[in-house]
Amino acid sequence: MMNFDYVRPASVADAIAAASEKGATYLASGTNLLDLMKGGVSRPSVLVDVTRLPGLDRIERLADGSLRIGALVRNADLAHDAEFARNYPAVAEALLSGASAQLRNAATVGGNLMQRTRCAYFYDAGSACNRRWPGAGCDALKGENRLHAVLGWSEGCIATHPSDFSVPLVALDAVVEIEGKAGRRELPLGELHRLPGETPERETALERGDLIVALRLPATAQGFARHARYIKVRERTSYAFAVVSAAAGLRIEDGKIREARLALGGVAAKPWRAREAEQVLAGAAPDAAVYREAARAALSGAKPSGDNAFKIELAQRIVVRALTLAARGTPDRIAALPGSPFSSVAGA
């Protein structure tokens, strides 16, 4: 790990000033950043520790019915908040399907959104990677790429975004609150992460110094609480990133799907909202045929970036599974194996 200067500002304004310097980066719990620094992938010259900034660790209901989650709320605290889990069950399930109990105890909401891809070539300082070194090329393109992207990738980068949490969030129209040199602004979560295109090194829409201070779920997000699931296929049952995942939320009235939300994880450089599939589902009776049609629509633009054509079929099956389970009804309690299609709990 390269050496760095450590600063712990007392206010958001001081933090932004410190992080606006070249080479500086924010430190929250560090569960991803320290790993990257140990591997020589990230080499910040200054770490700006934001963990003591006041007022960013609260969950609050706002007057308009939306929920505001401070960026320093820990993943475990959010997932185990009973009211949160009741109102946004797919988000809680996604959180609990990610990482390990130890990591969830440390990791923050803001840090989860800002975590980097787990592409092995990005992590290996000896491999060519356009994210790490613009113009270097992409060793993943001709390498071990069965877990790489099938949607929205470019010849420059085929990495995926690893967050489970952000998948149901993007389906529920979450908004990110950002403080920066120019003041406060908001961004739909769906616009935070960028597809690689010609500039894979620009992973998010944030500018230097920008700090995520909160995440907001609009009042409408609770409308899907009775029919919401997050389903995640992994290469082992627990403590693994998604090969493919799907978050599904349905509003079912009088035997018809009034509104559907669907997003996919593990398939692209960003959490992938499947609006075409939502349109297929809206107004339809909840049955297997329409789920399959929605799944085809969700993956209609997919193409393999390597040895991963199987993910296109797998993703469709996971979409069908997530919709089927969501329509059946949100379980009273999150399954023993959160997100797992192999859970032994009935109905999971």
Residues in contact with another protein, counted by CB under 8 A, come to a total of: 33
> Among 43, 68, 80, 226, which residue interacts with another protein (rule: CB under 8 A)?
80
In the set 14, 49, 81, 276, which binds another protein (CB under 8 A)?
49
Helix axes 288-298, 310-328, angle to 10 degrees: 140
User: Of these, 16, 27, 250, 315, which contacts another protein (CB under 8 A)?
Assistant: 27
Our finding on whether 44 is near another protein (CB under 8 A) is: no
State the Cα–Cα distance between residues 199 and 249, nearest whole angstrom. Answer: 33
Question: Residue 310 interacts with another protein (CB under 8 A)?
Answer: no
**Contact flag: residue 342 with another protein (CB under 8 A):** no
Select 116 or 216, whichever has its Cβ closest to another protein: 116
* Binder of another protein out of 51, 66, 154, 222 (CB under 8 A): 51
Among 17, 106, 187, 284, binds another protein (CB under 8 A): 106
* Residue 60 beta carbon to another protein: minimum distance, rounded to whole angstroms: 22
Contact flags string 224-243 toward another protein, x per CB under 8 A: -------------xxx----
Question: Does residue 344 belong to the site contacting another protein (CB under 8 A)?
Answer: yes
List the beta bridge partners of residue 175.
188, 216
How far is Cα 144 from Cα 147, in angstroms, rounded to an integer? 8
Residues in contact with another protein by CB under 8 A are 1, 3-6, 8, 27, 29-31, 34-35, 38-39, 47, 49, 51, 76, 80, 99-103, 105-106, 237-239, 336-338, 344
